[in-house]
Structure 1
Amino acid sequence: MQQPKKIAVIGSGFGGLSAAIRLAAKGHEVIIFEKHDKPGGRAYQYEINGFKFDGGPTVITAPHQYDELFELAGKKREDYMTLVPLDPFYRIFDGKGDHFDYWRSQEHTEAEIKKYSPNDIAGYRKFIKGVTDIFHWFHPFTEKSFPTLWSFLRIFPHVIKTGTWRSMYAFAAHFIKHDFIRKVASFHPLLVGGNPFDTPSIYGLIIQFEKQWGIHYCMGGTGAIVKALCRLFEDCGGTIQLNSEVQQIIIHNKQAKGVQLKDGSVYEADEVVCNGDVAFAYKNYIPNTLLPKQMNFWLSNLQYSNSLVVIYFGTKKKYTNSKLSHHNLILGNKYNKLMRDIFQRKILPRELGLYLHMPSKTDATIAPEGCDCFYVLSLVPNLDGKINWNELMDEYVDKVLGFLEENYLPELRSNIVAKHAVTPLHFQNNLNSYKGAAFSIKPSMMQSGYFRPQVKSKWFDNLYFVGAGVHPGAGVPAVMASGKIAAAAIEQ
């Protein structure tokens, strides 16, 4: 084994924890510096009046990624956390309030299609065959870096063969005629900050990713996964330092040499892994005089994902008879216009595009007895949209809750006993996301693979980035994979 290294990790999100656990399990001296009072990054868990609200990711896939971490440390996942499978994966509502249950089982999903458009069952089978081919061709590349342009260009014959140059919606429309079923088949880019109408269907591998390994929920919420991974990291000898905001990555002779905290203290390190937003980090953690001239221009001219308004709320009654499932998507009648307003025009849409999470449907421990726990996120533009959220926040939150009250949760507002809401300003100011983009750099063909920031910095030695902004992209499985790529690069 090589000589143990001192490694500083900035941030304790899933990417930082993935890298840190792997490196600590190999015997390196690893310390995580976390800005907030609790670990998790976007997966921070709020606790309000006896309710537990997961701050960000709630769709948990690929249990084998967690198993891999525990096995590296000679531990068992079951001793640290409890995952339970969810089926249906999602309940998707159309503009009229009718719903489609999206199951793991092909047979059950086809039964749902039959309710809307029996003639589309054959086309849906061809669609699923297409995304299965996409998965088999491209999933292996999600755990590899693309250090050269040639390494990325080698996949393009497969892009042409599988038709993944089409957008996700266009790929679905090639096989499916019914508009709502097309939306059901193509919404997945929204989970990683992309517009289904222009995100390439190479991201359709997410669909098969879910079918391959299922969608799960961790008892106690996603925050319980963070706690489990932190405990595992500490069991491997790692250290987490909370309330420790990094001010600067120390660079000497184009090499990362450690970090300086806001309180002035310095931690010297052989390697630095940054789980902070990659654009924010380059613009704020490294003195501008040390950056290549083209760096700021490049980062400023990348396209960034949408942002979110997220409302966490707990009710003093249980909505036992509601038509909601655990994961719910509410797609309105003007879905195409909604996407244009958010991603192209960058104005606040009149329509709502909502994801509604109801974990108390599965987990009684997440809320006080006799209560229900929710979070609803609404798709909005990032801060390029110039929307005054300080003025609009209360009005917008009331609009979303009013819509839910009218259509899904009767007498909602009079039953809320715990509430917290965040806007794009939270993503910018609290989570250090450039332009308040909730998923960092937007997924597109020219912002994927080699054309996306890589895990290993191209400009500074001993500096690595993990998280949504680097290859392979946003979403918990991809972010976890970025940690794996970083740890492997450091080990090599």
Structure 2
Amino acid sequence: MLTHDQTDSNAAIVIGAGLGGLAAAMRLGAKGYAVTVLDRLDLPGGRGSSITQDGHRFDLGPTIITVPQVYENLWRACGRDFHKDISLRPMDPFYEVRWPDGSTFTARQDTDAMLAEVARLSPADVAGYKRFLKDSEACYKVGFEGMVAKPMNKIWETIKVLPEFARLRADRSILGLAKARVKDARLRMALSFHPLFIGGDPRKVTSIYALVAYLEKTYGVHYAMGGVQAIANAMVKVIKVQGGTVRQNVEVDELLIDNGAAKGVRLTDGSVIHAPLVVSNADAGHTYQRLLRNHPRKRWTDKKLKSRRWSMGLFVWYFGTKGTAQMWPDVGHHTITNAPRYEGLLRDIFIKGKLSDDMSLYIHRPGVTDPSVAPKGDDTFYVLSPVPHLGFDNPVDWATESAIYKAKVMAEVEKTIPGFADRISTEMILTPEDFRDRYLSPNGSGFSIEPRILQSAWFRPHNISEEAKGLFLVGAGTHPGAGVPGVISSAEVLAKLVPDAPVQMPLKVAAE
């Protein structure tokens, strides 16, 4: 690998080997820093890591790749070619949405195919859907091109985009925009559900998130062979080639601050690592409430963090099935099933904190694309249900409710995959309590702070911390927000805020 002599001024620590932390380490390595990544899990990737059980690889979190250029740009900044390290397979169709009345909506990249789907469901809404596509392109230009990879730690950067936000009616929710464009309730759901996959309530999240439709149409939806874990593993290889270090099974207990400046970290075993540059990929809430617990905070006090609205929790059931690879030919890689209620279910999850009997589910069947996820002839699935986080006054007691809720999920999945339960050979479950304990996520939230308009851009925890000089944040809880493109882009923002390493040492070639 490539190595260079390390000086104290060149040392950098990244807390957390999630995708944002790994991307940050790559960016810092490209700037000449000697980077040490510290992570408490046994594999890199954070919420994008995996667990292999009885021959089944369960990809724990994100399952699709959108906006491939964010990865290409990251690799290019490190002098490498992303596509030499990762094999992407385009999805066609992207996913299928199903409703209780038996109707379906198949999402594809081709515009004519999408117009045909809209016409099949609701001919009167074709013109409105075309208007929605124009909206999504305008939102992309303002919200993605104009903001995602740009620092937003100065309020002026947010103020500058307000006229465009006003023109696009960003005060209106994504569901509100869908209602303004189409009349069919099924189409309104199909055009507005995407923010759920970054933790947002479609009834409250800004209509700027219509940009997702443009991203899908323009860049497609892909699957990384080997899962997102393969991307995390490839990122670790780049970091090591740069001379960096990635340490698993170690946990940071506290940030060390001296005279208002970061000086390193203390691990839970009591050992100390010094560095004048610290990047936290831990949840922003955990960073400020736990890692800075012994230091005064100017902005992100416990009171302010508690007042934030947090993203929903997730109930995720992972299971393998025996001898089913050729069964259920109508069930593709990505399927979304809907409850009879849409807005009522969202209110239960985000406002009431109520665990409902009905549910909408995301069913992931990666073996359709990548047979390596299961033993030959078998299948690997995960089923995800949005549920309330743990921050409500009477949170769900998952020790009691997990088995009960699983039975309800099973009955719902049976409608899509009949007979699957008799074929289960191995299984595991993650609840919001597991997200709290495994990922140190406040309230067991799946995606950190909810991406409402007044919790975005400057209003979100900044990439450069005002709490300590030399402290930076990346990942879902900071700008630009959750979702894999967002956390990867947070490292690009970081690279614009951090200067090149003070001492540029000549690289030396060593055995890889």
Could you give the per-residue CA deviations for residues 203-255 of structure 1, whole angstroms, max 9, x where no partner exists? 22222122221111011111111111111111121110111100111011111
Say whether residues 1:7 and 2:12 are aligned partners. Answer: yes
Q: TM-score, normalised by structure 1?
A: 0.97
Helix, strand or coil: the match of 2:391?
Answer: helix
Q: Does 1:371 align with 2:383?
A: no
SS at match of 2:314: strand
Contact residue 151 and residue 496 of structure 2 kept, 8 A? no
The separation in 2 between residues aligned to 1:280 and 1:329, in whole angstroms, is: 32
Q: Is the 8 A contact 1:468 1:478 kept in 2?
A: yes
Alpha-carbon spacing, 1:396–1:197, altered in 2? closer, same or farther (3 Å)? same
Fraction of identical pairs, as percent: 36
> Residue 336 of structure 1 corresponds to which residue in structure 2?
343
Q: Which residue is equivalent to 1:82?
A: 87
CA 1:114–1:352 in structure 2 vs 1: closer, same or farther (change >3 Å)?
same
Counterpart position of 1:387: 396
- Whether the 8 Å CA contact 2:9–2:275 is kept in 1: the answer is no
> Which deviates more, 175-184 or 312-321?
312-321
Which amino acid is the alignment partner of residue 203 of structure 1?
Y
Partner of 1:458: 466
Give the aligned partner of residue 279 of structure 1: 285
1:227 aligns with 2:244: no
Are residue 259 (structure 1) and residue 265 (structure 2) matched?
yes
Residue 466 of structure 1 aligns with an amino acid whose one-letter code is V
CA–CA separation in structure 1 for the residues paired with 2:214 and 2:222? 15
Query: CA 1:128–1:257 in 2, change beyond 3 Å: closer, same or farther?
Result: same
**Rounded Cα–Cα distance in structure 2 between residues aligned with 1:208 and 1:293:** 35
Spell out the pairing of 1:6-155 with structure 2 (5 A cutoff): 6-139=11-144, 140-155=146-161
In structure 1, how many angstroms separate the alpha carbons of the residues matched to 2:388 and 2:242? 41
Contact (CA 8 Å) 2:357, 2:408: kept in 1 or not?
no
| C-alpha distance in structure 2 between counterparts of 1:451 and 1:73, whole Å | 31
Q: Is the 8 A contact 2:8 2:276 kept in 1?
A: no
Q: Which moved more, 1:270-279 or 1:281-290?
A: 281-290
**Distance in 1 between the 2:226 and 2:468 partners?**
40
8 Å contact from structure 1 (residues 123, 175) kept in 2:
yes
2:419 matches 1:414 = no
**Matches of 1:490 and 1:260, distance apart in 2:** 23
Write the deviation string for residues 344-397 of structure 1: whole angstroms up to 9, x where unpaired.
Answer: 111101111211111001111111101011111111000024111011111111
Give runs of aligned pairs for residues 143-292 of structure 1, distance below 5 A: 143-292=149-298
Moved >6 Å (runs of 4+) = none
Q: How many residues align?
A: 490
Please state whether the residue corresponding to 2:181 is helix, strand or coil.
coil
Please report how far the alpha carbon of residue 465 of structure 1 lies from its aligned counterpart in structure 2 after TM superposition.
0.8
Paired with 2:316 and 2:281, the residues of 1 have a C-alpha distance of: 22
Q: TM-score of the superposition, structure 2-length normalised?
A: 0.93
- In structure 1, C-alpha distance between the alignment counterparts of 2:232 and 2:153, rounded to whole Å: 30
Of residues 386, 405, 419 in structure 2, which corresponds to 1:396?
405
Cα distance in 1 for residues equivalent to 2:166 and 2:30: 41
Could you say what secondary structure the match of 2:358 adopts?
coil
The 1:294/1:456 distance shift into structure 2, 3 A limit, reads: closer
Shift of 1:294: 6.5
**Higher mean C-alpha deviation, range 477-486 or range 314-323:** 314-323
Partner AA of 1:217 in structure 2: Y
Q: Deviation at 1:4? A: 6.3
Question: Contact 2:265–2:273 (CA<8 Å) still a contact in 1?
Answer: yes
Q: Secondary structure at the match of 1:138?
A: helix
Q: Deviations over 1:287-318 (max 9, x none)?
A: 34433386111111011000000011110022
Q: Could you tell me whether the CA contact under 8 Å between 1:4 and 1:29 is conserved in 2?
A: no
| Shift in Å, 1:332 | 1.5
Q: Which amino acid aligns with 2:29?
A: A
Contact kept? 1:323, 1:408, Cα under 8 Å: no
Query: For the Cα contact (< 8 Å) 1:305–1:439, is it kept in 2?
Result: yes
Does the aligned pair in 1 maintain the 2:256–2:262 contact within 8 Å? yes
1:446 CA displacement: 0.8
**Letter in structure 1 aligned against 2:32:** G
1 CA distance for matches of 2:20 and 2:294? 26
Residue 301 of structure 2 aligns to a residue whose secondary structure is helix
Match of 2:504? none
Give the structure 2 partner of residue 306 of structure 1.
312
Structure 1 residue identity aligned to 2:171: W
1:106-149 deviation per Cα after TM superposition (whole angstroms, max 9, x unaligned) = 11011111111111111100110011011112212111122232
Contact map agreement 1:402 1:413 (CA 8 A) in 2:
no
2:90 and 2:222 in contact (8 A); partners too: yes
Are the aligned partners of 1:249 and 1:256 in contact in 2 as well (CA < 8 Å)? yes
**Closer/same/farther in 2, CA of residues 164 and 291 from structure 1, 3 Å limit:** closer
The SS at the match of 1:290 is coil
Where does residue 448 of structure 2 map in the other structure?
Answer: 440
